Chain A
Amino acid sequence: MTDPKPRAAANNKQIRPDGIPKVTGRLRYLTDGSMDGMLYGKIKRSEFPHALITSISVEKAAAMPGVRAVITHEDVPAVNGFGIVMPDQPVLCEDRVRYVGDAVAAVAAETPAEAEAALEAIEIKYEELPVLDSPEKSLSSEAPLLHPEGNVLHRNGYQKGECEKGFNQCFCIVEETYEVPRQMHTYMETEGGIIAPEEDGGISVYMGTQHGFKDRFQLSRILGIEEERIRVVSSPMGGSFGGKDELNVQPYAALLALKSGAPVKIHQTRSESMRSGIKRHPMKITMRTGTDQEGHILAHKVEITADTGAYSTLGPAILDFAVEHAAGPYIIPHVEVNGVSVFTNNGVSGEFRGFGGNQVTFALEGQIDRLAEKVKVSPIEFRKMNLRAEHDPGPLGQTIVPTMGAEHVLNAMEKKPPRLWRKKEWKQYGTGIAITMHGGGLGYGRLDPAGGRLSLTSEGTIEAAFGFEEFGQGITGVIEAVVTEAFGCSREDVTIRIGDTAKVPATGSTTASRGTSMVWHAVQRMKGEFQEKLLDKASAVAGCLKEKLSLGRGGFYCEEEQVLTFRHLANVLETDIVTTTTFDFPTTPDNMDGSHYLYTFAAVRAEVEVDIRTGQVSVAGLNQAVSAGPVIHELGYKGQIEGGGVMSIGYTLMEEASMRQGRYLTENLDTYMIPGISDVPFDLDVHPIESLSDNDPHGPRGVGEIGTVAVAPAIVKAIHEACGVWTNHLPVSPNKMLEHLTEREVQPWIPK
């Protein structure tokens, strides 16, 4: 063999391994599947946001044509509850419903229409209870208790210095209350898939999630079946953004499959998804922040109230994250933060890209811009005066990995030449900058195991197996790039195995921007040993000195010549070559519950046009500098920041899943608006800053969330620069803008 040894060069521009099946429409999503004898499942959800259930009668439904199983709370064999942290959300409600997404019964029938008809025939009687549709109502002394422990899900706070003393020394103080909306993930693929009963009494689950092993654990707790008899196949997915991390329809399909003895498919419609799915926490955040005469921030007092809806899911952790990030990348001597997450009869709030960071960053950066204006310092200069330095501790005083990220991202945005506007008479123009720091991983004191497995397959490929999920973010591209880089092999030499509990090791959740980082760490830990094992065997088979052998495209090279293919080696091997690793996501050595150790940074510069006739705000430019270590996969990285940025343009200007008295006012994408192509700038600028501090051993960080975090405050500051209006509420609708503009008499037709 005479192939010169081409070592695979940087693979980070490589097209994604899941690309061809996606662009040809040949990829089978889990909701595209069907099976022989498959039934269709439908879920009966509560008619009321808060009520007692006085009776449930399913006899009629069960007798309807095509109906093969009907389930209620009586059919849940073990724990009738789910929730990643606390299983306080009933799978099927028995005596009380707490929100309009609560499930009371479910049906499996031979056709979707029969299932639908049977659902209608289920009779449930309710006795309505007062609806607690805001945290204020839930916290009032007359409020009924939504859960035995009360209406407070969680409180957290921290304190440093003495805030009141700090404020006494202040020259300038700004106090504002910010309100942010309930945002829907709006993954294009709504929840669903198939669950099939297996001969051993177990089940196979084909439904998307961000953590297959956690679903397996939760399903085992509900069904009373050992985890070993539950297989969860959970990739690929048509988007998640945090929204499919919690269980959604899995328990119903599982119970129906077990009861009917047939595979059951559930695929929620968009309105079913809206009604039942989790959303981003609406929060009310009051901040009081003061500076000395020059603009050094001396004191910062924060009150956060989060509407967590009817059940816990990850509400506590999200509040903790918001509390931790409430002072962001700024060094402030006196800080006091108090947060409370409150149960209500609204939709359940839970995990969503950014995880509480987006809400507090909007408030914090709003404070910073207002203060900068008051003390007459430029917003950039003001931030620099207060910014953390490389070795400063983290926001809770904990040790963190040294980083210059904050300064780097701000400098990058400062250096960017200003936008040249082609101005129109009816428009006003402005630019705003905001920055953020964002923790990766689950945080101190939370189980956060990771790992991976490398093996040589019998077909002669290097299989990289991880318990991660592909929901569009590009983990498969990351795995391919990291493995080809590590071994100098080609993409054809790599098999990626993810998203199937029967075939992959447990490596933790695909959340918290941890996937990229954990894949890289795992491969760095495994590559030496795995390569040694391969070379040992190869040298024996090829009859070539191990020292002279190396890996490359397709196999092994002795000096520049290929002497053995991976395939040949695989064919003659008698024992498998496998290397595994397990480790934990790195955490701070300091005992600060939930605090982070690795942070990423972003600075956003938004350029907006405000049409003063209509109040319409459009974002003409969105530039983001991101400091998250080396870029593994260029298109993937860029795509995360661009897509995250646009998702947050939606959050800032148009998206709100409004509720009135515990009922959604939106049912579908005609009233819940997400950005379309006409709502966004075409050329988003992404500026990765790859450098890390000296001797940083942690490599690339994930960027799945960071691109969403600081967009809203940058846009809102740009609006302020354009027309002098400060807004504290998101989304900034044209109507609200018009009100502000009229109030300020900005419109030229109003005589001064």
Chain B
Amino acid sequence: MDTEIENQPVRPLTILSFTINGRTVQVTTDPSARLADIIREALDLTGTKISCGIGRCGACSVWLNGKLVNSCLIMAYQAEGSTITTIEGIGEEDNLDPVQQAFLEEGGFQCGYCTPGMIMAVKSLLKDTPHPSDEEIAEGLSGNLCRCTGYSGIVRAVRRAAEKEQ
């Protein structure tokens, strides 16, 4: 037997508790597990995606205490006691958020894989800047990659959602 592997330290698991989409949850996990994995695997909230795993694409964007973060870069222990919102906490089929509605109407998605993260970023942008200029849109969404739309439909959706805010 490979002693190296046998002797690998088993990291002690911790119990984390936090609030996600208004629900308080407890998860038993390795403290250095990625928040993205906890959300997807332990909590089965698969709207949050992982595409690069290194903080470059924004597919895993969620709000941590109201701030937009890449959940693939957050370690479990950093979420202790926090309030998290994922796409599942934004709107539902029969009660869509205006941003989701705007994405539908303006073609803000195609394959949809970047979409949950993108919508989290757009909502976060509009919360801080209800009527963003083009530069502000670019800045607010610069951490979220989309390979399908070329961003045009996303920009139209942001503009439309911002208009509706008035």
- Picked from B48, B107, B148, B153, the residue with its CB within 8 Å of the CB of A25 is B48
Given A26-B47, A680-B150, A669–B52 Cβ distance below 8 Å? Answer: yes
Taking the complex as formed, is A186 at the interface, i.e. its CB lies under 8 A from any CB of chain B?
Answer: yes
Using A23-B103, A117-B5 as known contacts, say yes or no to A669 and B145 having CB atoms under 8 A apart.
yes
CB of A646 within 8 A of CB of B87, answer no
Q: Does A35 contact B (CB under 8 A)?
A: no
B115 within 8 A of A: yes
Chain A residues within an 8 Å CB radius of B1: 60, 63
Would A677 and B138 be within 8 Å (CB), given that A23-B119, A635-B153, A638-B107 are in contact?
Answer: yes
CB < 8 Å neighbour of A680 from B51, B59, B110, B151: B151
Instruction: Choose one: A121, A645, A670; the contact of B5 (CB below 8 Å).
Output: A121
Stretch among B12-20, B73-81, B90-98 lining the A interface: B90-98
Residues of A within 8 A of B59 (CB): 188
At the interface, yes or no: B127 with Cβ under 8 Å from chain A? no
A64 within 8 A of B: yes
Q: Name the B residues within 8 Å of A21 (CB-CB).
A: 93, 112
Residues of B within 8 A of A63 (CB): 1
Asked if residues A25 and B113 are in contact (CB atoms below 8 Å), the reply is: no
Cα of A188 to Cα of B148 in the assembled complex, Å: 9
Cross-chain contact A639 with B88 (CB below 8 angstroms): no
Contacts of B29-52 to chain A: CB distance below 8 A: 40-41, 44-49, 51-52
A471 at the interface (CB under 8 A from B): yes
Instruction: Please pick, from A237, A269, A674, the residue contacting B111 in the complex, using a CB distance under 8 A.
Output: A237
Judged by a CB distance under 8 angstroms, whether A678 is at the interface is: yes
For residue A28, which residues in chain B have a CB less than 8 angstroms away from its CB?
A: 46
In the complex, the answer to whether B110 meets A188 with C-beta atoms within 8 Å is no
**Could you give, for residues 662-698 of chain A, a 1 whenever the CB lies within 8 Å of some chain B CB and a 0 otherwise?**
0000001110001111101011100000000000000
- B68 in contact (CB, < 8 A): no
- With both chains docked as a complex, state the minimum distance between the C-beta of B50 and any C-beta of chain A, in angstroms: 8
Contacts of A644 in B (CB 8 A): 150
Task: Give the residues in chain A near B92, CB-CB below 8 Å.
Answer: 24
The answer to whether A646 and B150 touch across the interface, beta carbons within 8 angstroms, is yes
Decide yes or no: A20 and B151 within 8 Å by CB, A678-B138, A678-B142 being known contacts. no
A473 near B47 with CB under 8 A, answer no
Residue in A closest to B59 when the chains form the complex, CB atoms:
A188
A448 within 8 A of B: no
Option from A26, A60, A188 in Cβ contact (under 8 Å) with B147: A188
- Dominant SS among interface residues on chain A: loop
A246 part of interface (Cβ distance < 8 Å):
no
Residue among B56, B91, B107 with most chain A CB within 10 A:
B107
Chain A min CB distance to B12 (Å): 15
Q: How far is the CA of A25 from the CA of B90 in the complex (A)?
A: 9
A27 within 8 A of B: yes
Counting chain A CB atoms within 10 Å of each CB, the highest count among B46, B52, B96, B110 belongs to: B110
The answer to whether B147 touches A20 (Cβ under 8 A) is no
Q: In the complex, which residues of chain B have a beta carbon less than 8 angstroms from the beta carbon of A23?
A: 91, 96, 100, 103-104, 108-109, 112, 115, 119
Give complex CA distance A187, B146 in Å.
Answer: 9
Contact of B112 among A269, A472, A680 (CB under 8 A): A472
| A29 sits at the interface (CB 8 A) | yes
Quote the shortest CB–CB distance from B113 to chain A (angstroms): 3
The residue that B56 contacts in the complex, of A25, A643, A670, with Cβ under 8 A, is A670
A29 engages B113 (CB within 8 Å): yes
Residues of A within 8 A of B53 (CB): 269-270, 668
Complex CA distance for A635 and B160, rounded to whole angstroms: 15
Task: Report yes or no: A188 in contact with B109, Cβ–Cβ below 8 A.
Answer: no
Q: Which of B116-164 contact A (CB under 8 A)?
A: 116, 119, 134, 137-139, 141-142, 144-155
Q: Is B86 close to A, CB under 8 A?
A: yes
Decide if A474 is an interface residue (CB 8 Å cutoff): yes
> Once the chains bind, are A639 and B153 in contact (CB under 8 Å)?
yes
CB distance from B161 to the nearest CB of A (A): 12
Contact flag A684-B104 (CB < 8 Å), given A270-B51, A270-B52: no
Determine whether the beta carbon of B111 is less than 8 Å from that of A32: no
**Cα-based distance from A64 to B53 in the complex (angstroms):** 27
Asked if A144 lies at the interface with its beta carbon under 8 angstroms from chain B, I say no
Chain B CB within 8 A of A500 CB: no
Q: Is the CB of B54 within 8 A of A64?
A: no
> Is the pair B111, A645 in contact by a Cβ cutoff of 8 Å?
no
Q: Shortest CB–CB separation between residue B41 and chain A, in angstroms?
A: 8
- Interface membership of B64, Cβ < 8 A: no
**Shortest beta-carbon distance, A704 to chain B, in Å?**
11
B165 contacts chain A at the CB level, 8 A cutoff = no
Kindly state the separation between the CA atoms of A680 and B153 in the bound complex, as whole angstroms. Answer: 12
CA–CA, A146 and B142, complex, Å: 43
Contact B152 A682 (CB under 8 A): yes
* Interchain nearest-CB distance for A188 vs B (Å): 4
- In the complex, residue of chain B having the shortest beta-carbon distance to the beta carbon of A32: B46
* CB-based contact B153/A239 at 8 Å: no
A98 and B150 alpha carbons, distance in the complex (Å)? 35
* Docked-complex contact A25 and B116, CB < 8 angstroms: yes
* Distance between Cα atoms of A675 and B119 in the complex (Å): 18
- Report how far A257 CA is from B100 CA in the complex, Å: 39
CA distance A669 to B105 in the complex (A): 30
The complex places the Cα of A82 from the Cα of B139 at a distance, in Å, of 44
Residues in chain A near residue B86, CB distance under 8 A: 25
Q: Chain A residues near B40 (CB, 8 Å)?
A: 32
Min CB gap A268→B, angstroms: 11
Given the known A-B contacts A117-B5, A639-B149, A639-B153, are A24 and B87 also in contact in the complex, defined by CB atoms under 8 Å? yes
Q: Complex: how many Å from CA A8 to CA B100?
A: 25
Q: Which residues of B contact A15 (CB under 8 A)?
A: 104-105
In the assembled complex, the CB of A556 is this many whole angstroms from the nearest CB of chain B, namely: 29
Task: Check B114 for interface membership: any CB of A closer than 8 A.
Answer: yes
With most chain B CB atoms within 10 A of its CB, the pick from A22, A26, A473 is A22
Q: Is the CB of A189 within 8 A of B113?
A: yes
A188 pairs with B145, CB closer than 8 A: yes
Q: Do residues B111 and A239 form an inter-chain contact, with CB atoms below 8 A?
A: yes
Answer yes or no: B57 CB below 8 A from chain A CBs: yes
Contact of B104 among A20, A25, A669, A670 (CB under 8 A): A20
B95 to chain A, nearest CB (A): 10
State whether A25 touches B87 (Cβ < 8 A): yes
Is A647 positioned at the interface, with any CB of B under 8 Å from its CB? yes
Determine which of B2, B91, B111 lies in contact with A121 in the assembled complex, contact meaning CB atoms within 8 Å: B2
Q: How far is the CA of A623 from the CA of B61 in the complex (A)?
A: 32
Contacts A23-B96, A677-B154, A682-B134 aside, 6 further interface pairs with beta carbons under 8 A come to: A26-B88, A121-B5, A639-B148, A643-B147, A643-B148, A668-B53
Can you sample 26 A-B contacts with CB below 8 Å?
A: A23-B91, A23-B103, A24-B88, A24-B91, A24-B100, A25-B48, A25-B87, A25-B116, A186-B147, A187-B147, A188-B146, A238-B111, A239-B110, A270-B51, A270-B52, A270-B53, A473-B110, A639-B150, A642-B153, A643-B147, A646-B149, A670-B52, A676-B144, A677-B138, A682-B137, A684-B150
- Complex A-B, nearest 3 residue pairs according to Cβ-Cβ distance, in ascending order: A25-B47, A472-B111, A238-B113
Q: Which residues of B are interface residues toward A (Cβ below 8 A)?
A: 1-2, 5, 8, 40-41, 44-49, 51-54, 56-57, 59, 86-88, 90-93, 96, 100, 103-116, 119, 134, 137-139, 141-142, 144-155
